[in-house]
């Protein structure tokens, strides 16, 4: 029995829009911040608990769901280390996830230019920007 070829209908401008596609993949809550935390981590990977400590306002349930979505979208790679108790799961960025870091850099530049930097106190925060500033001073 021959399989019928499915004809692909052309995409509409709304369906093809690369900005809409990017927002569909990266626009879910916490996605960009998860990528940022993994990218700026010293080892290039973080465990679930390390992410949980860094993203204190994200519930465990939402963080778990988002990491599953991100793995399905090939943004992060999930690696299980079963050599100890408890079993540890680490997340690292895939090449697709690393590409999103360019967007993060642009968001950071925008935030530095237009954010409320005069109200920001770097002394009480441990972020990649603060670490960089402390290392150069």
Tokens of 53: 């400590």
Do 36 and 103 contact (CB within 8 A), yes or no?
Answer: no
Say how far apart CA 31 and CA 27 lie, in whole Å. 7
Q: What is the model's pTM?
A: 0.77
DSSP 8-state secondary structure symbol assigned to residue 77? E
Residue 134 has what pLDDT?
A: 47
Residue 124 has what pLDDT?
A: 61
Say how far apart CA 63 and CA 52 lie, in whole Å. 7
- Per-residue pLDDT 10s for the chain (137 aa) are 555 555 678 878 777 788 888 888 899 999 999 999 999 888 999 999 999 999 999 999 999 999 999 999 999 999 998 887 888 899 999 999 999 999 988 888 888 788 776 766 666 666 666 555 545 44
Do 94 and 74 contact (CB within 8 A), yes or no?
Answer: yes
Tokens of 96: 């697709």
DSSP 8-state secondary structure symbol assigned to residue 68? H
Q: Which domains does the chain have, with CATH numbers?
A: 17-113 (1.10.10.10)
Three-state DSSP class for residue 88: strand
Say how far apart CA 136 and CA 16 lie, in whole Å. 44
Which conformational region is residue 32 in: left (phi greater than 0), alpha (psi within -120 to 50 degrees), or beta? alpha
Other Cβ atoms closer than 10 A to 8: 6
Three-state DSSP class for residue 89: strand
């Amino acid at each position: 029995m021959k399989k019928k070829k499915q004809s692909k209908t052309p995409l509409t401008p709304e369906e093809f829009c690369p900005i809409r596609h990017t927002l569909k993949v990266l626009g879910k809550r916490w996605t960009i911040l998860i990528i940022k935390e993994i990218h700026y981590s010293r080892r290039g990977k973080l465990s679930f608990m390390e992410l949980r400590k860094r993203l204190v306002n994200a519930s465990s349930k939402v963080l778990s769901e988002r990491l599953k979505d991100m793995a399905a979208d090939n943004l992060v790679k999930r690696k299980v280390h079963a050599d100890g108790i408890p079993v540890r799961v680490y997340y690292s960025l895939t090449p697709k996830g690393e590409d999103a870091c360019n967007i993060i850099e642009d968001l950071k530049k925008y935030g530095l230019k237009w954010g409320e930097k005069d109200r920001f106190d770097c002394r009480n925060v441990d972020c990649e920007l603060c670490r960089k500033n402390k290392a150069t001073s």
